[in-house]
Amino acid sequence: MPFARSTGLIVAATAALVLLPNLGGPPLWDDDEPRNAACSLAMRGSGDWIVPTFNGRLRVEKPVLVNWLHLAGFSVAGVNETGARLSSAVLTIATCVLTAAVAAAAIGPEVGLWAGLVMATCLWTGVSGRAATPDAPLAFFTTLALWLFVRGCRVPGPDGLGWRFGGARLPLASAVGIGVACGFAMLTKGPVGLVPPLIALGTFCWWQAASDPGRAGPLHARLVASLPTAWRATRPAVIAGTAIAVALPWYAMVTVRTEGEWLRQFLLVHNLGRFAAPMEGHAGSALVYYPLVLLIGTFPWSIAWLLVAGHARHSVGGPARADSMGMRLAVCWAAAWIVPFSLAGTKLPGYVWPAYPALALATGAFIAAWIRRRSVANDTWMRVAWACLAVVGIGLAVGLPLAVRHYADSGSWLGLVGAVPLVGAAAAWAFQSAGRPERAAIAWATTACGTIGLLVAVAPAVAGHAGGTRQLFTAVPAAKAGPVPVASFGVPASAVFYAGRIAPAGAVPNLSGPADAAAFVAENPGGHVVINARFEEAFAMALPCDYGVLRKSTSFPTLQEVVVFGPTDPPRIAVDATRSSRH
């Protein structure tokens, strides 16, 4: 079914309202954002676009595409938070539009609009779509692969209802296009960019072939008999071969340049190792972790999850129409991401973000059906959903000021954000009572856009404004005149990025201890040292007498105190005779 240009514009504008305002306001936070950005900064300074490094060491956690995207962002917006996050925001906007296009082609244009709005205004889209991490590129390229599959598989329906999925073989051009998209996904996060999409598309084709009315026999016999048909229809060899051909040149170059060390650690430690056992404390229940993550991540649309699940269950069991086939594809796509990562030892919320387009499709299909064919049962449960939305609004009004109090003294007014879901719930209830479900749904979408937009654009900026490593290096006088050597010890990743902005070539060597710091200063006159404040006394004893603490700051959001040592005027007085004689 044609995808209306107006739908794409509405979805893109809504996503932009959530993702672009104050994009560079909050400092880089957590570990992933500054690690990725610092790696990109070092790549920019050295001119080496092949081997990723962080703090002078080989960075084996992620492939290189996110760094290339950061370099593009730096060239557009400067070496700052906006430059690091710009590519994620732009690609996430495109992902929301692709989600709308997938839903429109799979089921219908009204479902496409609602699916796109759901994807654009759920909480995790606001969080991860504004982060300088590989999650946004991975979500974009995998959703692009899904859209190319839908576009290649749809055929005119004989019942005149529009487009539906057929049993024909995937066109070769579509298979190649999917492979190219998966290849870029592999450059973003490795094998996970290819394996789950192949599982999802293959499972869907298998399901369709086994459900063919012309195929007789018990279920197990139909499954066995339909497997070759599904294999031929999906063209997995073409998809996989194309993806490998796209990703192989960089993987080969980094393997040669690092004598196999990067590839070995990436595959064995950060793929197989993460799947086999928890790493860095990121564990969770196989049955509870991701359902809870998805419940929070899809807020405020998750207030109707039970109704969405019921509608999806009814749709997949229906006759071979566009809505049932589209819902089957959504189920296969979501399961291909959620099930394997639920079984993995290491769990993080972002691992299943590529499943969100499928969840948005299911939610959009329910909203469109509720508007068209309201039932007493659904109306009753939707009132429960509005009540839940109001309760969340009260929770935000109380909880946000308390949460921000740890980082800033001026965030009590953030409780006003809770007024948005409160007013939205009241408006949706009133419109439903007046027999206008479409306006109730519009109020729901408006509430989602306002609530998520304020949460992600304002709250982190307020919390991170008062301190953090971003302000730490304003005390370095040489930074105003030009690059200054900087080394680090035991600091959070954000300190490495912000130090790299003033260091030559973005390089911030990692020190082994106080003696190494003294040697660094001796080799780099006027250089600065940034360290964990717990080791301040030991480093003060080792550094020259004309070195002192220029500034202290607390990292965001880890609350780790960091200090910068540099030349002082006048020189500080030695603290004991031994140290005085040494200097």
> What was the pLDDT predicted at 56?
84
Separation between Cα atoms, residue 242 and residue 321, nearest integer Å: 32
Nearest to 548 by CA among 466, 475, 494: 475
Omega of the bond prior to 197 within 30 degrees of 0, cis?
no
Can the peptide bond before residue 570 be classed as cis, meaning omega within 30 degrees of 0? yes
Spatial contact of 55 and 496, defined as CB atoms under 8 Å apart: yes
User: Phi/psi of residue 550, each to 5°?
Assistant: -85, -35
pLDDT tens per residue across all 583 residues of the chain: 456 789 999 999 999 999 999 999 988 987 899 999 999 999 999 999 999 999 889 999 999 999 999 999 999 999 999 999 999 999 999 999 999 999 999 998 999 999 999 999 999 999 999 999 999 999 999 999 999 999 988 765 544 334 445 456 889 999 999 999 999 999 999 999 999 999 999 999 888 877 766 666 676 677 777 788 788 888 999 999 999 999 999 999 999 999 999 999 999 999 999 999 998 888 899 999 999 999 999 999 999 999 999 999 988 875 556 678 889 999 999 999 999 999 999 999 999 999 999 999 999 999 999 998 877 678 899 999 999 999 999 999 998 888 777 666 666 788 899 999 999 999 999 999 999 999 999 999 999 999 999 999 988 888 776 557 888 887 676 555 578 899 999 999 999 999 999 998 888 999 999 999 999 999 998 899 999 999 999 999 999 999 999 999 888 777 789 999 999 876 554 444 333 333 3
Residue 540 corresponds to which tokens in the numbers above? 């003060």
What is the residue extent of each domain of the chain?
5-373, 380-465, 472-582
302-332 burial: b if 16+ Cβ within 10 Å, else e:
bbbbebbeebbeebbeeebbbbbbbbbbbbb
Q: List the Cα angle 127/131/133 in 5-degree steps.
A: 125
SS (H, E, C) 61-84: CCCCHHHHHHHHHHHHHCCCHHHH
Angle at 109 between CA 104 and CA 111, to 5 degrees: 75
d(CA 385, CA 437): 14
Give the side-chain half-sphere CA count within 13 A for 178.
31
59 CB-side CA count, 13 A:
25
Per the CB < 8 A criterion, the answer to whether 232 and 206 are in contact is no
Contacts of residue 440, defined as CB under 8 A and 6 or more positions apart, other chains included, come to 382, 427, 428, 429, 431, 432
Here the tokens at position 392 are 């969340």
Instruction: Answer yes or no: are the C-beta atoms of 134 and 36 closer than 8 Å.
Output: yes
CA distance 171 to 12: 29
d(CA 356, CA 293): 11
Q: Which residues are 155's β-sheet partners?
A: 164
Q: What is the dihedral of CA 460, 465, 466, 470, to 10 degrees?
A: 110
Predicted pLDDT of residue 334: 98
Q: How many CA atoms lie within 13 A of 112 on its CB side?
A: 27
How many Å is the Cα radius of gyration of the chain? 27
C-alpha–C-alpha distance, residues 254 and 485, integer Å: 28
Q: Is 58 helix (H, G, I), strand (E, B) or coil?
A: strand
The phi-psi region of residue 341 (left if phi > 0; otherwise alpha if psi is between -120 and 50; otherwise beta) is alpha
The pLDDT of residue 576 is: 40
Residue 279's pLDDT is: 87
The one-character DSSP state at 487 is: E
Q: Which two tokens stand for residue 516?
A: 């190494």
Whole-number pLDDT of residue 216: 62
CA-angle at 34, arms to 29 and 35, nearest 5°: 135
Query: What's this model's pTM, rounded to 2 decimal places?
Result: 0.93
Confidence (pLDDT) at 214? 61
**pLDDT of res. 160:** 39
